[in-house]
Structure formats: structure tokens, C-alpha cells
Structure 1
Amino acid sequence: MKRITTVLLLGTAAVALAQGTTFLTIGSGSTTGVYFPVATGIAKMINDAGAGVRANARSTGGSVFNVNALASGELDAAIAQNDIVYYAYKGTGIQAFQGKANTKLRTMAVLYPEVLHVIARKDAGINSIADLKGKRVVIGDLGSGTEQTARQVLEAYNLGFDDLGQALRVSPAQGISLMQDKRADALFYTVGVGASAISQIAQTVDVKVVPVSGNQAAGLIKKYPFYVRYNIPAKSYRGVGATVPSVAVQAVMVTTTNVPEDAVYRAMKASFGNEAELRGLNPSLASFSYDKAVKGLPAPLHPGAVKFFREKGLNVK
């Protein structure tokens, strides 16, 4: 059984449940983002509870990879952007999901806002999204939610990836190095405020946060209603002295109908059962609440999540 905890194949959770213990692999994202520490913290809470569920968090390429891995059974649960989950559930929105609706996707909980950070080197002469034209820009890992967000935001400014000097599809860790070495002028990253990757860049390079606002932000939100306006607070990062307007989506924890109701219920009771403890896992979760956890769902709640939230007094189905 130890081998199975590393990579789980379709149906493994159900088999393990019959044997008394369920093993769940939770997909996250880059180790320098927020998904990974949140997933790691949730897995630890599940394991510490001793409730017949064992979990491990796995670093991945991000949202698009995660929902595809849920479809193949490589993952049992994952954290992903709510827009990406919706597109996968409906089989629309982006090419990776076109005509391939995964109706087995189920939501466990909405976790926290994921804020678009557009970070530019101060010496790159970038003051607005429009100024990214002709620049070397990190747009996120291939298949990540950040890549999709970058595409949509550039579109709001009548730009595409072809308008950039270079569209650099790399991980956040590689993006840090490119920014530090002056091989990139700017970086897109959709992540919770306070992410270590952004902090690391700001500690070593003079940077500015590029705003997403005005008519462009309004147009983006109208076309893609998953987005909401979000102000990145002043002093969130070194050198950022004023509040910067941007937009955000939501990070959600998702699973599939292949994972039994009892397994999801026990995992959620172990990890979401104590709101205060969950909020303490990461600053991004500071505003988590049960009420918010069931709003803006990109796919139906898993029956195990329904059972959990009903016990907490919420009217869900």
C-alpha cells in the first residue's frame, strides 16, 4: 500500500476505503506558491486526525494540470482556480477542455481569493498592462491557471501573447530567477497575497505592481464573471507603498465522484472541522468561513461536502 500513496490510480480511493483506510493524493501547484503549503497543511490535518483517511500533497503545474489529473485519476483531490474548474466541468472556455466536459468534478470548498499579480522590474519602463507590448513576460507554467489569466487580461488591453517580446512559460521559481537576472521584464502570477515567490522577487529586485483597473477591468469582469475587483494592500511586498487595484478569482478544493462520500466527509471533518485552525495554515486563508466556502461554486458540491456543511448549519445541496 505504501507505493500507492505516491501516485494513485483511478479507483484506488474506493479500494482503500474497503480495506479500512482511504489514501488521497491532493494536487497543488508550485512549491513557491500558496497552493502547495495550503495543500500540505490540509494533508497534515487529515493525517493527524487519524480518521481512517491518509493524504499527501503533491506539487504540480497548477490548475489546468490538476483538473486533467483528476479526470485521469492521477489525483483524488486538488486546489484550482474556480474559473478553470468551471471550464473543465462544462467542457468549454479553453482549448484544453473544449468538448471534453468532466461532469464528475465536484467541489469540496471555496478557499480564498487568488489575486492577479503583475510584477514588473522598475527599470523596465512598465507602468500599465499596455506597456507589456514588446517586453519579456513570464506568463506562468504551460497549463497553469496563471497562463489563462494572463491571456484574458492581455485580451482586455487588446494584446495577445504574440504582442509580447517573449512569452515565457516557466514555473514561478524559474520566473524569480529570470526577473533577478534581468532576463524577464515582468511576471504574471495568480496567487494569494503574500506568496513567497512575489516576496522573494521584491526582496532582491526593485519592482512595482502593475494595476489592472478602469474600463479594462470592467470589461474583463463583464466577459468573465469569475473575476472580482481586488485591491492589493499597500506594503504587502517590499517597495509597494500604495494600494494597487487588480482582479481576483477564487481558489477552490475539488475532487470527483470517484471518491466515496464517506472519504470526502471524513477528510473534510478532519481538515475543515476547525475554522480557526484552517485559517492559521496560511495568510491567504485568514478570511475563510463556512459561508464563503459554499459561494461561487464552479461545480456541484460533493455529497461528502454536503453532509459536512449541513452539519455546520448551512442549507446546501
Structure 2
Amino acid sequence: MKRITTALLLGTAAVALAQGTTFLTIGSGSTTGVYFPVATGMAKLINDAGAGVRANARSTGGSVFNVNALATGELDAAIAQNDIVYYAYKGTGLPTFQGKANTKLRTMAVLYPEVLHVVARKDAGINSIADLRGKRVVIGDLGSGTEQTARQVLEAYGLGFDDLGQALRVSPAQGISLMQDKRADALFYTVGVGASAISQIAQTVDVKMIPVSGNQASGLIKKYPFYVRYNIPGGSYKGVGATVPSVAVQATLVTTTGVSEDAVYKAMKAAFGNETELKAIHPSLASNFTYAKAVKGLPAPLHPGAVKFFREKGLNVK
């Protein structure tokens, strides 16, 4: 959490100083994903409320980067996959978190399902996850939640990154270019349905969506209970007419104990107080968010400011 402490600042910052405004930097993800427009939309609602809290959204490398940046104070809040937040809170699951539990992490709200999209070029001869062996596959940016999801899903099919022809660790924007230029055969992306990156690929390349289902999906969910089954509706993307079974985790807004109860409560009231305005930010929120769902499957305890907000909404939380 950052406060302006010098009277030399001009314009709105000087006004904010006089009013004792708290500034929150919210980490998101790639500009082609869903995190960024959601974080930007929430920041706007917070700023428009004029309640003593100002916010800005920052594009980042994704979930793993975000929770690490929360630990260092580089970010004040962030959107991240619930599994990644849990691993960071417990100090397990990933080498970067092993033995370094960040018990100061706190949940503000669960937002919407993040669905695993496995997109393949139709000319690549890929019909199942098993067919990715020997192929050039975009597995997500280094330190992203997608990279971790890709590792776990491949594992469920008896594969590892070393079994791929190339494991391409690049951003979604770079992944689009690689798919378009035939330098990648398939792409993993854990993101809300309707993400612009997936839509852009489908608009410019003949693609198919590869399912994650059957015994492999069951085994994945049993080993990693953050996953749930999720069907990508037919017609969500150009050329994908039928429903595609997959799995999903949950996008979650998180912060730390370093941000005051008052600041989090005011931010929550501004961003979440009007459910209609919140849902207007993005279709992923419109079709999935409810106050009841927002407190289910929490990867870390609720922040006291969030507890105060949800109790006002009639929920029994602590």
C-alpha cells in the first residue's frame, strides 16, 4: 500500500494527498487476456466512487508474478488463479514457493472460472492432449498460471514439457503470432471464455479446441482439487461449433494484511457494491459472478475489509 507523502506533487495527486487518499496498484496479466480488462474496470469503479481510495491496473506476467509481487510490496492487490494463491499461501506446490509460505496473503473475492483452452491448428494433426508429443506448444509465459496448468494437464496424460517438440514460454500476444506464422502447433491458455487472444487466433487461423475429459480429467481433479470440470460452449469462438469439455480454476482478487481494513472495505464497496456495474465490465463476470460464489473456494483467508463488506451483503463469513 502506498501513500503520497510529499507536497511537491501537483494536480490530482496533490488534491488526493490533501484528502488522505490511499493508492492501490492492482496486478493483472497480459493485455490480451481477461485479467487486464477486469482489473482496469474495477480500478475505474474505485476511482469513480471518490471514497478515499484510488487504484490503477498494471499489466503483468500473470498469477505467479502477481503473488510474488504482493510479497515484495510491488503490488497492493492482484488477480490470480486460486490454485497459485493457495500454493503461495502454504509455501508448497511450486519451486518458487517451496518453504516460503506467504501467510500475509488475503482473499478479497473469487471472481469467475478460468477455463483451460488448448487450441491447435487444424493442419497440425492434433486431436487429443496425447497428440502434443513432439509438437511445438505455447505453454504460457514464464511464471504464469497457464504454465503451471499446462504442466499438470500434460502430467495427467503421461507427458511432460520434455516430451514436447518445443515448449514455448511466451506471452499470449507472442503465442498468437507463433500460431499465425505456423511456428507453433498448439497453445495452452488458462483464461475466461471469450478472451480476445483466443478469439484473435480463431479469426485468423483454422483451429480446433482440444478436450480435457474422461479418466485424465478425473485424475487431474482428484490430485489437484482446485480444478472443476467446465464445458466451453459451442460458438464461443469462430470454427468451434460444438461444446468442448475442459477444466477450470478460479480467478481470484487477492491482497495482503499490509493493506488496511478501511482501504480494502472502501475498494470492495466501490468495485463490488453495485453488482450490475461490476458485471458490465466483462462477460466472464456477467455470466458467473455472484456474492455467494465470491466467498466459495477461498485459497487464503478473507481480508477483514472483505469480511465487513460481505457481511453487509448478508453473507455469513469470517
Give TM class, smaller chain.
Answer: over 0.9
- The Cα offsets for residues 89-124 of structure 1, whole Å up to 9 and x where unpaired, read as 000011110000000000000000000000000000
Deviation string for 1:176-209 (max 9, x for gaps)? Answer: 0000000000000000000000000000000000
CA contact (8 A) 1:11 1:258 kept: no
| Native 8 Å contact 1:11 1:73 kept in 2 | no
Q: Is the 8 A contact 1:118 1:187 kept in 2?
A: yes
The Cα offsets for residues 192-251 of structure 1, whole Å up to 9 and x where unpaired, read as 000000000000000000000000000000000000000000000000010000000000
1:5 is displaced (CA, Å) by 12
Classify 1:2/1:163 alpha carbon distance in 2 versus 1 (closer, same or farther; 3 Å): closer
Is the contact made by 2:19 and 2:52 (CA closer than 8 Å) also made in structure 1? no
Q: Residues 170 and 137 (structure 1 numbering): CA distance in 2 closer, same or farther, change over 3 Å?
A: same
CA 1:277–1:123 in structure 2 vs 1: closer, same or farther (change >3 Å)?
same
Q: Distance in 1 between matches of 2:218 and 2:8?
A: 42
Range that drifts further, 1-10 or 183-192: 1-10
- The answer on whether the counterparts of 1:67 and 1:80 sit within 8 Å (CA) in structure 2 is yes
Q: How has the CA–CA distance of structure 1 residues 272 and 133 changed in structure 2, closer, same or farther, with 3 Å as cutoff?
A: same
Matched residue SS, 2:292: helix
Distance verdict in 2 for CA 1:23–1:158, change over 3 Å:
same
Distance change in 2, residues 1:258/1:7 (3 Å)? farther
CA contact (8 A) 1:221 1:227 kept: yes
Stretches (4+) displaced over 6 A = 1-19
CA deviations on 1:141-177 (whole Å, 9 max, x unpaired) are: 0000000000000000000000000000000000000
SS at match of 1:8: coil
Distance 1:59 1:280 in 2: 20
Question: 84-93 or 8-17, which moves further after superposition?
Answer: 8-17
In the alignment, what sits opposite 1:127?
A: 127
Deviation digits for residues 20-39 of structure 1 (CA, Å, limit 9, x no counterpart): 10000000000000000000
Given that residues 137 and 184 in structure 1 are in contact (C-alpha distance below 8 angstroms), is that contact kept between their aligned partners in structure 2?
A: yes
**Alpha carbons 1:8, 1:74 under 8 Å: kept:** no
CA RMSD of aligned residues (A): 3.5
Q: 1:88 to 1:7 in 2, by over 3 A?
A: farther
Is contact 2:2–2:23 with CA below 8 Å preserved after alignment? no
Partner SS for 2:189: strand
The total of aligned residue pairs comes to 317
Distance 1:74 1:216 in 2: 38
- Give the C-alpha shift of residue 17 in structure 1: 9.1
Contact 1:8 1:73 in 2 (8 A): no
Q: Percent identity?
A: 91
User: Deviation at 1:276?
Assistant: 1.2
8 Å CA contact 2:33–2:197 kept in 1: the answer is: yes
Q: TM-score, with normalisation over the residues of structure 1?
A: 0.95
CA distance, structure 1, for counterparts of residue 155 and residue 286 of structure 2: 32
Task: Give 5+ residue unaligned stretches, structure 2.
Answer: none
| CA distance 1:113–1:7, change in 2 (3 Å) | farther
Q: Relative to 1, partners in 2 of residues 1:91 and 1:6: Cα closer, same or farther, differing over 3 Å? A: farther
Confirm or deny: 8 A CA contact 2:179 2:186 kept in the other structure. yes
- CA 1:297/1:12 → structure 2, altered by over 3 Å: closer, same or farther? farther
In structure 1, list runs of 5 or more residues that go unmatched: none
Cα 1:163–1:44, aligned 2, differ >3 Å: closer, same or farther?
Answer: same
> Structure 1 pair 2/95, CA: closer, same or farther in 2 (3 Å)?
closer
1:223 and 1:52, CA in 2 relative to 1: closer, same or farther beyond 3 A? Answer: same
SS in 1 for 2:70: helix
Decide whether the 8 Å contact of 1:14 with 1:22 is kept in 2: no
